[in-house]
């Protein structure tokens, strides 16, 4: 079996790492293609190091651009790579531009596509990621879902049962494996915090592109920082928005982008997490850490229905929600299949699907 993995942005790498290891154990031939969608070393290369992923075999180096331009560049540069290798499968991860671009190219070349993290929906088409999810799932030959509700979503959309495989959450494979190294990193201790921190990440346009909205978020964080450490590793795009709008941060502690292990060390001991990231909603549920997602919707509803996640559409409400934790933390449970073996089930699903179509 020969598989080409397509990765291009930080959320892809923790999903790729355990799948690559599981395929190594199965003695499959693998080719890693890094599209270069995240091209800054702090946003990309460091994750390869932290997660033990081999250097990419191919780097398309597409860099930053509009959604249309970036997707077009990936397609143009990826087509000859897939045409040359003619793999058995192209594996795409998540919902970034690299994912939908690779699905389009592979499908038109007649190469089978498997989508890791299929079936997630926010039902908000103002999010570019939602468009990427829908298109990728329509094109994929094998839909590898992280939760039972995602499988049901695909069935409602008309996908046949033999193209859907519930495998569980591969992100949690990486989290469970990395926890000891994260705790040993000493990163949280190096910050010399006065207590368990509130950890913040924000990057979505709905939160950072409108100065009024961003100011409301930061106002809440400034208030919370008067009584507890608030640590905010800042995405370069978010920092630029803060600077250009002249928004103050008070005693909120801003950090440069940090590696996966450092972030995990912060999160696993956090008082709470405030985010608009999909991955952190899952990681906090797995760790039992309260999470407040500054969005009106989520493509990961199982983190709300079963986990520790709460949607906070209006950032003004953040202060009350976080302070309510002083009276007790929310009870949650770890969803089915979030057990560290999702990558093994992905290999099994690919094997069965390949055998069934020979």
Residues catalogued as catalytic: 203
Helix (H) or strand (E) run with residue 37 in it:
none
| Tokens, residue 43 | 């946003």
CB neighbours (10 Å) of residue 341? Answer: 18
**Which residue from 79, 66, 5, 15 is spatially nearest to 37, judged by alpha carbons?**
66
- Is residue 118 within 8 A of residue 95, CB to CB? The reply is no
- Sorted by sequence, the CB contacts under 8 Å of residue 227 that are 6+ apart come out as none
Token digits of residue 18: 């355990």
Between strands 253-255 and 230-233, the pairing is parallel
Residue 269 has phi, psi (to 5 degrees) of: -120, 20
Sign of the four-CA dihedral 68, 70, 75, 77: positive
- CA 218 vs CA 146, 226, 238, 325, 343: distances in Å: 33, 13, 12, 20, 38
């Amino acid at each position: 079996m020969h598989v080409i993995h397509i990765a291009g942005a930080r959320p892809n790498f923790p999903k790729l790492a355990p799948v690559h290891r599981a395929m190594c154990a199965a003695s499959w031939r693998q080719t890693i293609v890094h599209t270069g969608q995240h091209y800054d070393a702090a946003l990309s290369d460091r994750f390869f190091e932290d997660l033990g992923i081999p250097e990419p075999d191919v780097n398309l180096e597409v860099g930053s651009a509009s959604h249309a331009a970036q997707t077009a560049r990936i397609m143009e540069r990826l087509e000859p790579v897939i045409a040359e290798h003619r793999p058995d499968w192209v594996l795409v991860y998540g919902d970034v531009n690299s994912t939908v671009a690779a699905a389009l190219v592979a499908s038109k070349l007649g190469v089978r596509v498997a989508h890791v993290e299929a079936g997630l929906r926010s039902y908000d088409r103002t999010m570019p990621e939602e468009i990427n999810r829908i298109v990728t799932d329509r094109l994929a030959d094998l839909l590898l879902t992280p939760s039972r509700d995602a499988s049901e979503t695909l069935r409602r959309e008309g996908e046949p049962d033999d193209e859907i495989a519930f495998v569980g959450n591969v992100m949690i494979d990486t989290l469970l494996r990395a926890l000891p190294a994260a705790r040993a990193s000493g990163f949280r201790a190096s910050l010399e915090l006065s207590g368990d921190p509130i950890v913040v990440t924000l990057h979505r346009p709905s939160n950072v592109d409108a100065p009024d909205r961003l100011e409301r978020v930061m106002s809440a964080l400034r208030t919370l920082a008067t009584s507890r450490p608030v640590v905010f590793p800042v995405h370069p795009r978010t920092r630029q928005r803060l600077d250009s709008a002249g928004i103050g941060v008070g005693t909120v502690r801003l950090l440069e982008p940090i590696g996966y292990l450092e972030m995990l060390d912060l999160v696993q001991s956090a008082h709470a997490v405030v985010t608009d990231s999909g991955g952190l909603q899952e990681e906090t549920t797995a760790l039992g850490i309260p999470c407040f997602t500054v969005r009106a919707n989520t493509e990961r509803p199982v983190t709300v229905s079963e986990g520790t996640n709460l949607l906070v559409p209006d950032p003004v409400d953040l202060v009350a929600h976080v302070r309510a934790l002083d009276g007790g933390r929310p009870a949650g449970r770890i969803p089915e299949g979030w057990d560290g073996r999702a990558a093994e089930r992905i290999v099994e699903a690919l094997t069965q699907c390949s055998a069934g179509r020979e």
